[in-house]
Amino acid sequence: MPQTTNNTSVERLNLANDGKLPGHIGLRVTEVDDGRVVGRFIVRPDLVAHTGYLLAGTVLSVADILCAYGVSTAWPEGASGFTTAEVKCNFTGTLREGEAVCTATLLHGGRTTQVWDARVEDAATGKLMAAFRCTQVILYPRG
């Protein structure tokens, strides 16, 4: 694994949410550790589909956001940025109301790629709602 730095915090990530999609969803980052980020959001009527269930896109977005935030907890030395190369999400349940919690963890932290997993669960019961995986390509300055 390359030399990495954790250059973020709960406070910094929650400030980054303001006025952006995470803020509109109501996502609150609650824990930040090396290779791990946890966040929560309340299921509100505007996040629920016409079917009465939480929109799958909301769940996928939260998992993607927290995995992206996670890259800053394992920032490779010399990197200038990153971009998402691939995402996959398997949905196993949903909510009509309540709170969801998402835990993003680093599975592979290489010099040129990182693979992140996220579990989205019903905060009240711990029941799995979605299993998410993404690959992040680490970018370096040219030249």
Domains detected in the chain: 4-139 (3.10.129.10)
Cα 110 to chain centroid distance, Å, stands at: 19
pLDDT at 1 over 80: no
Q: Which of 15-19, 21-25, 28-32 is the least confident region?
A: 15-19
Note the pLDDT of residue 15. Answer: 94
Residue type, 125: T
Query: What local confidence, expressed as pLDDT, does residue 3 receive?
Result: 86
Where residue 77 falls among pLDDT bands split at 50, 70, 90?
Answer: very high
pLDDT band at residue 117 using 50, 70 and 90 as cut-offs: very high
Poorest-pLDDT segment among 1-10, 43-52, 85-94:
1-10
DSSP line for the chain: ---EE----HHHHHHHHTTSHHHHHT-EEEEEETTEEEEEEEE-GGGB-TTSSB-HHHHHHHHHHHHHHHHTTSEETT--EEEEEEEEEEE----SSEEEEEEEEEEEE-SSEEEEEEEEEETTT--EEEEEEEEEEEE----
Task: State residue 2's pLDDT score.
Answer: 78
**Bridge partners of residue 84, in order along the sequence:** 136
Cα 65 to Cα 104: distance, rounded to the nearest angstrom: 9
Measured at the CA of 61, the angle between CA 48 and CA 17, to 5 degrees, comes to 100
| pTM for the whole structure | 0.96
Of 116, 102, 100, 128, give the one whose Cα is nearest residue 38: 102
